[in-house]
Amino acid sequence: MAAATPTHGLMGPAKAAQKITGWLIVSSVLFIILGCFAIIEPAVAGLGATLLVGWLLIFSGVTHLIQAFKGGGISHVVIRVLVGVIYGIGGIYCLTHPLLAIGALTLLLAAVILAGGVFEIFAYFRLKGESASAWILCNGLIGILLGGMIWLHWPSSSVWAIGTLVGVHLLMTGMTRLMLTLAARKLPTTAAAH
């Protein structure tokens, strides 16, 4: 009878890396497909994002209500209950009036992008002499341009803004993960060769 070694039954690093990275490649391709779909059909993707926000708000509201009664004094309970109720109302509103909610989310998105662009330009003036500070200025100007475009074309921008931006983000996330996964897949074979 042969004695079992501690590594008996374990796969080597190359096999383990291939198995893990295989699932990561599948998820990366799924992100890419979803991103392309969201770019092609931005209204559907925007509606899906709005419904997701609605459910997240409801779950967050329930969590706040549960946390309210775990101690901390009367002011803690009142604030948590208030926040929970507001989140719950916002979530129910998103689920029952998704088209109105997508319009509100589009305005919020435009305001966030505009504010980000303004802060980037302020950061550029503080870092003007540093290398690559021109990229900060460029990013700020693009943020102001994009945020302004969404804001000025509201409510018609509600049809495309959220869905397109979610699609671009999903596509870029998928591409980045795919490239990182393919690079990670080569590591065990490269390490074994040395």
**Mean model confidence pLDDT for the chain:** 81
Domain-by-domain residue ranges, the chain? 25-182
Q: Residue range 17-30: average pLDDT?
A: 78
Give me the pLDDT at residue 97, please: 92
**Banded model confidence at residue 8, pLDDT cuts 50, 70, 90:** very low
Cα angle, residue 193 at apex, residues 191 and 194 outer, rounded to 5°: 70
**Helix 98-126, helix 74-96: angle, nearest 10:** 120
Note the pTM of the prediction, 2 decimals. 0.65
Q: Which residues lie below 8 Å from residue 37, measured CB to CB, with a gap of 6+?
A: 44, 45, 167
What are 120-129's pLDDT values in tens digits?
888 888 878 7
Q: Is the pLDDT of residue 191 over 60?
A: no
